Amino acid sequence: MKNQILNLLKSQQDFISGQVLCEKFNVSRTAVWKAIKKLREKGYNIQSVTNKGYRLISSPNILDENEIKSKLKTKFIGKNITVLETVDSTNSYLKKNAHNCPDGTVVVARKQTRGKGRLGRVWQTKKDQAVCFSVLLRPEISPMEVSAVTPLCGLAVVKGLNDYFDFDAKIKWPNDVIIKNKKLCGILTEMSCEFDRVEHIIVGIGINLLIRDFPKEIAYKATSCCLESDREIDKNLLLANILKSIEDVLCSSEYAFNRNNLSEYKKYCATLGREITFMRKGQEVKGIATDINSDGELVVTLSNGKKETVFSGEVTVQGIY
């Protein structure tokens, strides 16, 4: 009922009487008052005047299920969505509850205490300073076909961010989102499968949103949306737009690279044309990143002209953190 009252208040510019709300939802005045109280506790500024009723003055700029749903234009991603105040990791939360979750389920956290990064690293932010969320996917593909999902999600996030803001985000292969060679967003994909069938894929995404002061040890290589753009940020609209972008990119190609999205990915990939360093059989190898193949692997041309493909692991890119 709380969300129903909120939606009704949003639809009206004038006051709505308590009696109208009681009749509309078939509840008592006490129940209406309790719902209004809960909305105020969440940060909604609701004016109340005797003999007039209630009027919504402003909404808080916090991640909220009802707000996200009201802005969502997807077919299935985010239709089942949960916003948590605090969680250790949205990926971990989804993994524990995956058996009860339909395709496209999204879990969002206002604060993560042990967000997952690459190679077991922990990613932490203060409450409401980042957009941290995970998407559960159940594509009908084999485990051998999953490799494109992570870079395609990187492409989708870049497109969603660039559509919303006035900056030019790029991709550091395979899926880090960067601006001016500093990291803005990380993506981590985890999979559960049985033999030749994917049970589910969980894509965790963390976007630095309102962070202005990074710890000294990472300040040289990290940035945030508020540092790169003066645009006022509607967190719920931004997330809704990114979820739509993810659905569009993944579903239009059935979770694989095709000619169109591979061309787009290359356009946004800041790694191409740069000198990179990677490990091969315990040895450090250097070369120039020259292409991305249809599996999303990085093609590297060595000094002797030989081409190597890099499909995982740490890659050091000259000029990008």
Q: Considering only CA atoms, which of 153, 116, 112, 114 is closest in space to residue 132? A: 112
Same domain, 182 and 159: yes
> Do 279 and 232 sit in the same domain of this protein?
no
Q: 151 and 18 share a domain?
A: no
Is residue 157 located within the same domain as residue 306? Answer: no
Choose one of 32, 58, 84: the last residue of a domain. 58
Element (H, E) at 83: strand 81-84
- Based on the domain organization, do 172 and 193 belong to the same domain? yes
> Are both 312 and 210 inside the same structural domain?
no
Q: Which of 42, 58, 74 is the last residue of a domain?
A: 58
CATH (domain of 303): 2.30.30.100
The pTM (predicted TM-score) of the whole model is: 0.87
Of the chain, the percentage scoring pLDDT greater than 90 comes to: 81
Q: What is the CATH number of the domain that holds 218?
A: 3.30.930.10
Same domain, 42 and 81: no
Helix (H, G, I), strand (E, B) or coil at 262: helix
pLDDT tens digit string along 292-320? 999 899 999 999 999 999 987 778 998 88
Clarify whether residues 135 and 24 are in a common domain: no
Are 98 and 216 in a shared domain? yes
pLDDT in tens, 59-96: 888 999 989 999 999 999 999 999 999 999 999 999 99
The predicted structure's pLDDT at residue 124: 66
User: Distance between alpha carbon 39 and the CA centroid of its chain, in Å?
Assistant: 25
Same domain, 18 and 156: no
Q: Which residues contact 160 (CB under 8 A, 6 or more apart)?
A: 238, 241, 242, 244, 245, 246
Both 32 and 141 in a single domain?
no
* Per-residue pLDDT reduced to its tens digit, 245-258: 999 999 999 999 99
pLDDT digits (tens, 9 = 90+) for 9-63: 988 889 999 999 999 999 999 999 999 999 998 889 999 999 999 999 988 889 9
- Taking residues 2-7, report their average pLDDT: 88
Q: Which residues contact 77 (CB under 8 A, 6 or more apart)?
A: 104, 106, 135, 243, 244, 246, 247
Domain boundary among 58, 74, 102: 58
Distance of alpha carbon 250 from alpha carbon 28, whole angstroms: 47
Number of domains in the chain: 3
Domain range holding 38? Answer: 2-58
Whether 200 and 131 map to the same domain: the answer is: yes
Q: Residues 104-128: pLDDT tens digits?
A: 999 999 999 876 655 455 666 789 9
